[in-house]
Structures are given as C-alpha cells and as structure tokens.
C-alpha cells in the first residue's frame, strides 16, 4: 500500500457511498446553498447553547449520510472526526447520540482530510465494511472560544475569515458505486513564523504547498493529473500566496485548476472578508458541492488539501507563532453513477 | 484483518521496537520512578509556561524512543497522538520541532490506546515502516485549564485524581524484536449520567467494562487469556466499580489480574486522593513500567484499556453529563528479547 514516505495509495479504492452536509443561515444565503442536504434558518437549532447546536449539525449530517446509503446505523463500524471546540465536545457528544465506535481527531480545519485519509486507509485494509468520517464547526461557538462572542460585534481586519456553520461527513465502504478515494498524503507541521491570528490563510499557505509538493513527488505524477487541486480554507489572501509559492517551486498549475473551498461557499457581497474557514468549510464544500459536480461529470480527478492552523488562544497569548498543517486526499470518479 | 464489529486482529503483530517515557518531580518520587527514561526535578523544564514544559515532555520522549531504536528521526514516517490541552497545542508544537508527519488525536486520557490501535493498524497493513504514537499530560497545565491554577491551593474531594506530568511514546515497526501488538477494540461513548467532574473514575468505569466485554466477545476469548487486564486511570473508586460491574456481567477475573495504571504510578502516602489520571498516565505506565515487567518475563499477555472522560469545562457548565470512552489494545511478548 505504501508508495512514498508519507503518501498512501489505496489499491482497493474505497468508495464514498454517500455524504451528509448540514449548514446554517449564512450558508443558506451562500453560493452553494443547493448542495446542502439540510439548512437551518437560525444558529441555535432549537438548542440552548451554540455548542449544543454545533453537536446537532454533526448528528444530522451523519443521519443523512446513513439514510442516503440505505444502511442501518448499527452497520457503521467507526466514526473518525473532530472539530475546533476545546476537547472536541460537539463531536464527542454527537457520538454519544449516534453510539458508533469513535476515534476522535484533532487537526483544526484539516480534520476533514485527516479523517478521510485514515478512514480510507482502514477501509482499504479491510478494517471496516462501513465507516463514517467528517468534521464540523459553528460560527458563534468558534468565535466565542477563539476571539469574542459574536454579540460583542467585534471588528476584524480584511485578512480575517468567516467560520462556517456546518457539518460534512462521508460514508465509506469497500464496495458499491460512487467517487473513490485513491491516495492520501499526511501533512507535517510547517511554521513560517507568522503570528497574526487574523491572517490564518497566509499562515497556512506554506503548509498546503509543502503537502501538494510531496504528494506529487511521492506519487510520481504531474499537477496535470488532477482536474482540480482544491485547498481547504486559505481564503483570498492565503490562496494567492499558495499559488505564487507553487509557481516558485516550479509546479505548473493554472488558476482554473487551483481553487479553495473557502472562496466557494459564500456569495459575493456576503461580509466574509477574506473568505470562509472552519473545520466545517472543506467538509461541507467537498462532501456537498464538489462531489455533486464530480457526479455531474464536470471533473474526474480532484486533490483535496485541507489546511489547519494548530494554534490556540493560549499559545498566541504566550507569544508563539502559528504552526500549520495540510492533509491531502485524492478522490476520483469515472462518471458511472 | 477484521475479526469483530469493532475489534481488529493484527496478523502481522506489529512490534514495539522501543519506547520513551519522561516524567516530572512527583513521578520521580513515585512507585515506578526507575521505569522512566528521564525525570525532571521541577515542573517548568526550563520553559516560561507549563504548556511549553508540556511540549518538551513529548519531544524528549520521542527523542528517547528514536535513540533507543537506533534509527534516524527521518525514518519515522508518522506520529499519532495528542493530549488534554485545548487544541492539543503541546503535541502540535512538539511535532513542529520533530518534523514528523502528524495525525493529531483527541481521546482525552484514552488517547494512548487510541493512538496505539491506529498505529498498529497502519503498520499491520504496511502503511509505515516506522511510526511513533503516544500521549502526554502536565499536572499544572491541565489543572489550570480544567479546574484552577495549582498556585491557588484549591481543595478537592477524595474521589478526585492527580494528573500525571509525563509523556509516553512507542515506536512501532513491522519487523524487529520486542512486545507485539496483537489486537485492538475501539471504544464507543458511554454516559451513565454522572455529572461530578471530581469523580472521573466512577464516570469512566462503565466505558472500560463495555470495551472489555466487547473485546472478549469479538475475539472469542476468555478473560483468562490475559495475564493482566489493566485500565488507564480509573483510580481506586473507578477500579472498584469496574471490578464489580465485570463480575455482575459474568466476566470471571481475579483481583491480581485486573489492575489500573492510575493506582501504580504513585507511592502510598503521596497526596493523590483516588489515584493518578491524565493522558500521560497510561502512556507512561504502559510504555515504561508494564513493558519492562513484560520483558522480565513477569507476564506474557496484557490487555490495556485506556479510559477517557470526554467532557470540557464548558460542557460541565452547560449542565451536561460526562461522556466516556475506553479503547483496548492487547500486547503480547513471548519472552525472547
């Protein structure tokens, strides 16, 4: 199975049988609203805290994926995933509801592809027949924890990004029809010394480039192998930096071919500054919008490079720079549905 | 590879080539001090914050394991692990230093065996030649975050436990000599409705029992298969509850055979109330003390059941009960060294 030092190729090509994507009101007004399975009109989801609402997003996304695959919840052997909240409680509490054996992950906004990489590895090696993986975030819960409660109306610089309220999950199996997971490259921590927590895109861009470069090298392929190389949540600022860095490293890639989930989810005019972010960003955009486009035949081979900033408010207060990571997973679909 | 619904059997029996264990002053005065590779005489480790000291514990444990295995750091393909601190920053910052591709985990105090289960799965399926996994905690960093800064001198009830200052890691490979990882059972979230964050042992005991029961059933073995079934950090209170519950469930097990890492690490008379806890507890006790005893031939088959309480201060403040989990991994050694 091993191809390169940190890249796995999945010979069995695990299948994404179904996905579940749930979003909030801001996502419902966004550019890809029709790609969500379920959209909520307010941030509370009938709960008495944002953290509990966050939990419900993930529960609902898992339930949708299970329903769509037409299997029983008891058939799902494992859930792998996480979120940004301290001790990833929204995910753990959702798994209390779902009662699926659970492996908690933390990779900040890279969690979606950390989970898909491990999930595909497990299915590929016949460690599960059915397995769920995913990530989620909730704008108000995340803002409260990392910055200020949204009710304060705090101002942000134009480099800041808007945390997605949403959960995206994928149900994997070793048989069936659907897009297939063909390889994964695990990220390493890259820290270029940036300290501004309002410019995460800039901090994360070098990690994305490092992982893309290793992925192409270890698989022995050219960037042209992929119809789309899509980063997780670099936003406008980080996307430009990453594009420039790739070119400097001699990686030939076009603007059409290199895109970012954080620039897809919201509509022009929504006040999201440099774009979207959050663990739910790449999870909902990939498992909703991008897989839908794949199934329509718009493209066949996609490399998803989910980026994460591994800081905390405490590490920032203690003068630390921002360590970042990016995990890449390739998804391919030959058009049969 | 699949045996039961949530149990993996590892046909290749990945080898624990070496381990690294680092502790603090309280552990240096404890019952198994001689089993640590390195002990620090103060909690600061020459750093200017407890979180940074926490990071150093893990860096040193990894370095020791790599040295003992006589390999180069560049040969280690992945690190899997985590800690209890918000956004697991001590682990992520240690991986910035170590530059090893990194998959962050969160399973609270069950992280040690969550990591070993996944690490053994990856090595067993030929996903890595060398891989590190481990967990760590720091008493003062954890107390500050979950309860009060230790400088406040806060009082605790006798059901509370003492968070270990320590890091324990294992270096796995598919070849070589040493104890072998033979199977793993992934936990599910069990919540019996307990709400007292000063009685984690009591809250976690049912999760340990659930996992032990599933493990024995899915592997089709009797408890007598194991010389030792050792839980992570139930402490005196949780240990008694778990022992009673196992008997009630008809699982025949003796007091000598059923033990707890949280009752091994400190000496009689150390003011640790109900025993030890923390992600570093099972990690240091298993990868230090217990593997040393195995290598001396004291026992051949051990099931480690690391327990975790998946709450946060916020979830407690919002009136939530304590969701718990336990992951079990079997380690066997035939005496050849």
pLDDT of residue A336: 55
For A180-332, CATH number?
3.40.47.40
Angle at B75 between CA B21 and CA A122, to 5 degrees: 85
Beta carbons within 10 angstroms of residue A218's beta carbon: 18
pLDDT at position A335 over 90: no
User: How near does any CA of chain B get to the CA of A267, in Å?
Assistant: 30
pLDDT of residue B153: 87
Chain B residue nearest residue A144, CA to CA:
B314
Tens digits of per-residue pLDDT, A187-211?
999 999 999 999 999 999 999 999 9
- CATH 3.40.47.40 domain span(s) along chain B: 7-173, 180-332
- B7-173 CATH fold: Peroxisomal Thiolase; Chain A, domain 1 (3.40.47)
Is residue B256 within 8 A of residue B328, CB to CB? The reply is no
Mean pLDDT in residue range A107-117: 98
Chain A residue nearest residue B191, CA to CA:
A96
pLDDT of residue B4: 65
Chain B residue nearest residue A124, CA to CA:
B125
Q: Which of B21, B56, B25, B24 is nearest to B35 (CA)?
A: B21
Mean residue pLDDT across chain B = 96
Rounded CA separation A240/B163 (Å): 45
User: How near does any CA of chain B get to the CA of A84, in Å?
Assistant: 7
Mean pLDDT in residue range A242-254: 96
Q: Which of B299, B251, B259 is nearest to B281 (CA)?
A: B259
On the CB side of A317, CA atoms within 13 Å amount to: 7
Mean residue pLDDT across chain A = 96
Which chain A positions have a beta carbon within 8 Å of B93's beta carbon? 310, 315, 320, 323
Tokens of B2: 């699949």
Is residue A62 within 8 A of residue A54, CB to CB? The reply is no
Mean pLDDT in residue range A115-139: 98
Q: Residue A74 burial (CB < 10 Å; 0-12/13-18/19+)?
A: exposed
- Give one DSSP letter per residue of B163-206, joined into a string: EP-EEEEEEEESSSSS-EEEEEE----B--S---TT-HHHHHHH
pLDDT at position A80 over 80: yes
Beta carbons within 10 angstroms of residue B117's beta carbon: 28
Residue with tokens 């530059």: B99
Rounded CA separation B217/A236 (Å): 53
Tell me A224's DSSP state.
G
Is residue A292 within 8 A of residue A35, CB to CB? The reply is yes
CA dihedral of residues A71, A74, A79, A85 (deg, nearest 10): 110
Residue B337 banded pLDDT, cuts 50, 70, 90: very low
Which chain B positions have a beta carbon within 8 Å of A125's beta carbon? 1, 121, 124-125, 127
Q: Quick check: A96 contacting B, CB < 8 Å?
A: yes
Which chain B positions have a beta carbon within 8 Å of A10's beta carbon? none
Residue B29 banded pLDDT, cuts 50, 70, 90: very high
ipTM over 0.90: yes
On the CB side of B298, CA atoms within 13 Å amount to: 12
Tens digits of per-residue pLDDT, A320-331?
999 999 999 999
> Strand pairing of B130-137 and B78-82?
parallel
Residue B166's contacts (CB-CB under 8 Å, 6 or more residues apart) are B21, B22, B23, B24, B27, B36, B57, B136, B137, B278, B280, B281, B283, B284
Residues in chain A: 337
Please list the residues that pair with B245 across neighbouring strands.
none
Which chain B positions have a beta carbon within 8 Å of A3's beta carbon? none
Tens digits of per-residue pLDDT, B50-66?
999 999 999 999 999 99
Mean pLDDT in residue range B324-333: 98
Q: Quick check: B175 contacting A, CB < 8 Å?
A: no
Q: Which of B205, B206, B191 is nearest to B239 (CA)?
A: B205
Is residue A331 within 8 A of residue A227, CB to CB? The reply is no
User: How near does any CA of chain B get to the CA of A54, in Å?
Assistant: 12
Tokens of A41: 């009109």
Mean pLDDT in residue range B80-87: 98
Q: At what angle do helices A235-248 and A200-219 cross, to 10 degrees?
A: 40
pLDDT of residue A4: 65
Please tell me which of the candidates B85, B105, B122 has its beta carbon nearest to residue A104: B105
Chain A residue nearest residue B116, CA to CA:
A103
Residue A153 banded pLDDT, cuts 50, 70, 90: confident
Is residue A99 within 8 A of residue A79, CB to CB? The reply is no
Mean pLDDT in residue range A234-244: 97
Q: Quick check: A221 contacting B, CB < 8 Å?
A: no
Q: Quick check: B121 contacting A, CB < 8 Å?
A: yes
Q: What are phi and psi of B114, to 5 degrees?
A: -60, -45
SS3 A199: coil
pLDDT at position B336 over 70: no
């Amino acid at each position: 199975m091993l191809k390169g030092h940190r890249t796995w190729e999945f010979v069995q090509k695990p299948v994404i049988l179904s996905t579940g994507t749930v979003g909030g009101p801001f996502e419902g007004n966004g550019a890809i609203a029709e790609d969500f399975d379920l959209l909520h009109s307010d941030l509370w989801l009938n709960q008495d805290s944002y953290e509990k609402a966050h939990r419900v997003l993930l529960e609902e996304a898992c339930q949708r994926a299970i329903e769509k695959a037409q299997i029983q919840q008891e058939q799902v052997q494992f859930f792998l995933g996480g979120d940004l909240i301290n001790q990833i409680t929204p995910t753990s509490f959702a798994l209390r509801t779902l009662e699926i054996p659970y492996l908690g992950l933390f990779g900040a906004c890279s969690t979606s592809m950390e989970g898909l990489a491990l999930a595909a590895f497990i299915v590929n090696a016949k460690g599960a027949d059915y397995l769920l993986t995913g990530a989620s975030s909730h704008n108000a819960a995340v803002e409260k924890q990392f910055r200020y409660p949204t009710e304060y109306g705090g101002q942000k610089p134009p480099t800041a990004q808007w945390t997605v309220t949403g959960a995206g999950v994928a149900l994997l199996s070793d048989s069936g029809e659907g897009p297939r997971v063909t390889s994964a490259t695990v990220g390493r921590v890259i820290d270029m010394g940036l300290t501004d927590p309002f410019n995460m895109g800039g901090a994360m861009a070098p990690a994305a480039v490092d992982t893309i470069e290793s992925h192409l090298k270890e698989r022995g392929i050219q960037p042209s192998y992929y119809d789309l190389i899509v980063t997780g949540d670099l936003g406008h600022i980080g996307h430009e930096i990453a594009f420039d860095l790739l070119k400097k490293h001699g990686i030939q890639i076009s603007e059409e071919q290199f895109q970012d989930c954080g620039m897809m989810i919201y509509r022009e005019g929504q006040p999201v500054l440099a774009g979207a972010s959050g663990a739910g960003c790449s999870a909902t955009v990939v498992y909703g919008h991008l897989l839908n486009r794949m199934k329509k035949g718009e493209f066949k081979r996609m490399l998803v490079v989910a980026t994460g900033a591994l800081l905390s408010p405490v590490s920032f207060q203690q003068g630390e720079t921002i360590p970042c990571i990016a995990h890449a997973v390739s998804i391919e679909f030959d058009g049969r549905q």
